[in-house]
Structure 1
C-alpha cells in the first residue's frame, strides 16, 4: 500500500486518479479536519501538521497496521519525513542523506561548492554575533534565512549591521544561514532525473522582484527561456552539475534557483527535491503534457510513466509564463467578473469578505496569491508584454477596503473563489 504524507495545502489533489492502479490501497497521514479525498483505505490525523514527532508517530502506527510499499510526499515540509520513514521501513526512494542535502541550505552549498557550482559566501549562524562577524568579513548587504525554510518565510535582507538586533531572538535557535546578497536576474530550473539519467530540464526567468515581490505587494511569476537563448544551455548544465554534487536518489524532481549576475556568472541560490510551488505546476503541466505532481507521484510510487512522451512534449511546447497576484493589506470587496483577455487557467483564489489584515498579512508567503494564471506566446517579447497587460487587468478587477472596516457584502458573493489544490508555497528565499 502507498503511504501519502498529505500536507493540508495538497488536500484536494486527485491521488486516486493519478495513482489509479492503487486506488483503494492508499493510506494518508494528514492534519485534523482534512479530507484526503477518494481512494484512501485508512487515514491518520494529527492536531499539528508541523509537529515532526507527531506526524512520524502517526505514520509508524499506519505502517504497523498495513504493509506499506512506498511513501509519497509532495510538500517541502515532508521531504525529510518521508526519507526517514523509507529508511526505517526499508523502502525505495530518496533517503535521509539525500533529503537533508536538498533541505539544509548550509550543507547544500557546502556540497555544491565541492562539486564546482558557484555559491555566494555563506555561513551557519546561531547568534547575532555570528551575523555581525559575517558582515564584517563580507561588506555589503546580506540575506539571513532559516536553513530549512520555505516560501520566503523568515527571510531578512540586512543592509547595515545596525539592523542585526531586530533578528536576535530568532537566531538563538541556531538553525539559520547568512549569505552574501547577489544582484542580478533570478532564474529557476525545474528538472526530472530518473535512474541516474536526465529526462527533462526547463529553465525559466523570474519576473522583476522574483519571489520577494510580495514584500512590496507586487505580483510575481516566471517565463520559460527559449531554447536558443545562450543562457538556456548554461542553466541546464549547471543544474545537472548541481544534482551530481548532491547525494543521489533513484528519481528526483528538482526545483533549482540561480542568480545570473550582471557579469554573466551563474550562482546558486538553492535547490529543492520537489516540484516548484504554485503557480509553477500549471505552467509545467502545459509544457510537459501532464501535471508535474502527477508525474512525480507515479514515479515515486513505482508506477509506469511514458518519459519519452514527456520529453517530446517539452521539446515542442510554446513559450509559457505563470503569474500570481499577492494580497493587499485589507479586506476584499470585489472580485474579477471574468478572466482577463489572453490568460489561460485563470483562477481566483480568494473570496468576497476575505480579510488579509494584521498578522495574516504580516505572515504572508511568496506563494500566497489571490489569483494565478498562465499566458503563452511564440517569442519572449510578446510573452512579457502579455504578462504586463494581464497583470494590470487582474489587479484592477479586485477591490479592497481597509482591514477591520465593517463589511457590507451580498450574501451570494461571500463564498466566491477557492483555495488552490496543492498550493505549496514557493521555496525560493532570495
Structure 2
C-alpha cells in the first residue's frame, strides 16, 4: 500500500496512469472539493490543506488502518509532513533532518557554507530590528523572505531602513523569516536526480528573466536548458552535486537547486528544494529526460522499476528546450489565445470569464500561469526565435478587463 499526499496543485496528476502496479493499492489525503483521479482505495479529505494538524491526522488514520510501505509527496508544502510520517511509520525516503535542511533557508545555507559553497550573507529574522541591524552592516538592497516558503511568496526587496520599517505589521513575528544580501546576477537552476547513491541526471537551465520575481511585473517567464558547450553547464552541475553532498541527503533524492551567477562569473547559492521543480519546468524536463520527472520520481518513491539508463541516454541526445508561462494580470479574462505555431504542450490554465482580481491576484505565486508551453530546437539561436515568437503570439491572444485599484486601472 502507498500513502499519497496530494496538494491542491497536484490533483490533476495521473497517479493511476503513472503507477499502474499500485492501482487499488493507494490511499490519499487531499483537500475537500478537489477532484482526485482513479486508482485509490480510499481518499481522506481535509477542509484546509494548509492545516498541518488536519493533514497529519488524516494521514495517520490512513496509515494506521492500511499500513503503507511507501509514501509519496511531491509538493514543497508536504515535504516536512511526509518526513514526520516516514519517521513514525518506518517508511523509506526523505527523513526529518534532511527535510528541515532543504526547507529552512537559513539551515541550508549554513550547511552549504560549511562545505565551501558560496552563499549570500544572511541572518535569521526574529524581529524587525534584525532587518535594520543587517542593513546597518550591509547596506541594501536586501531580500527578506520566509525561511520555508516556495514560489516567491512573501518575499520583499528592501533598500533602506525606512523601507524595512514599512514592512507589514506583525509579518516578521508571525512567520520565520530570513534576510540576505541581494545578489546581482542571472539566476540558473539545476534539476538533479540520484537513486540509491547513483547519479541519474543533472540538467542545468537558465531562467529566461531575472527569475521567479518576474511575476511581480506580470512578465512572461520560464527556463531554457544550457547548450553542451556552455562553460557554465558543468560548473553548475558540479555545484549542485556538491550541495547534495553538503546537506544531510539520503542516497535517493531529487533536487531543484537555484544559483546566481554574478557578472564576474561567481556562482552563489540562492536556495535548494528536495523535490521536482514546479511551474512549467517539469513539462520542459520531460523533453530532456524522456519522461515526466514527476512520474519518474513517483515511481522511485514507490519502489517501482525505472529504466534509468534510458533516461541517461535521452539526456545525452536531447535537443535544447525552453518552457514559458504567462502570469495572470489583475482582472478578468475576456479572450484566450489559440496555440501558437511551434509550441509544444500548450496549455490554457484559465478560460474566458476567469477572474484574477482582488486577493487571488495578491496571493499569486511564481508558478501561477494562465497559459504555458514548451519549445525545442537544435541550437540556441533557433530556440530564442521560437521562444520570442510564441511569447508574442500568446500575449497578444489574451484580452483582459483590468481591475480598478485606488481609482486607477492597473
Scaled to the shorter chain, the TM-score interval is over 0.9
Output the CA distance in 2 between the equivalents of 1:91 and 1:275.
20
Q: CA deviation at 1:37?
A: 1.1
Which residue matches 1:180? 181
Output the CA distance in 2 between the equivalents of 1:65 and 1:320.
45
- SS of residue in 2 equivalent to 1:213: helix
Which residue matches 2:297? 296
Which of structure 1's runs of 4+ aligned residues deviate more than 3 A? none
Which residue matches 1:86? 86
Which residue matches 1:120? 120
Output the CA distance in 2 between the equivalents of 1:402 and 1:293.
35
Output the CA distance in 2 between the equivalents of 1:254 and 1:123.
24
Once the two structures are overlaid, the 10-residue window that deviates more, 370-379 or 355-364, is 355-364
Gaps in structure 2 of 5+ consecutive residues? 406-410
Which residue matches 1:21? 21
* Greater relative contact order (Cα < 8 A, sep 6+): 1
Output the CA distance in 1 between the equivalents of 2:14 and 2:325.
23
- SS of residue in 1 equivalent to 2:321: strand
CA contact (8 A) 2:184 2:262 kept: yes
Q: CA deviation at 1:140?
A: 2.4
Q: Please state if 1:171 is matched with 2:164.
A: no
Q: CA deviation at 1:359?
A: 1.6
Which residue matches 1:48? 48
CA contact (8 A) 2:146 2:175 kept: no
Q: Report the TM-score when normalising by structure 1.
A: 0.92
Q: CA deviation at 1:60?
A: 0.7
Q: Report the TM-score when normalising by structure 2.
A: 0.97
Which residue matches 2:214? 213
- SS of residue in 1 equivalent to 2:103: coil
Would you say how many aligned residue pairs link Structure 1 and Structure 2?
404
Partner deviation per Cα, 1:139-185 (whole Å, 9 max, x = no partner):
12100000000111100001111111222421013500100000111
Q: CA deviation at 1:404?
A: 7.3
CA contact (8 A) 2:279 2:366 kept: no
Which residue matches 2:408? none
Output the CA distance in 2 between the equivalents of 1:33 and 1:401.
28
CA contact (8 A) 1:4 1:71 kept: yes
Output the CA distance in 1 between the equivalents of 2:327 and 2:33.
26
Which residue matches 2:395? 395
- SS of residue in 2 equivalent to 1:172: helix
Once the two structures are overlaid, the 10-residue window that deviates more, 310-319 or 386-395, is 386-395
Q: Please state if 1:234 is matched with 2:235.
A: yes
CA contact (8 A) 2:339 2:346 kept: yes
Output the CA distance in 2 between the equivalents of 1:212 and 1:142.
14
Q: CA deviation at 1:403?
A: 2.9
Q: How does 1:10-159 map to 2 (within 5 A)?
A: 10-159=10-159
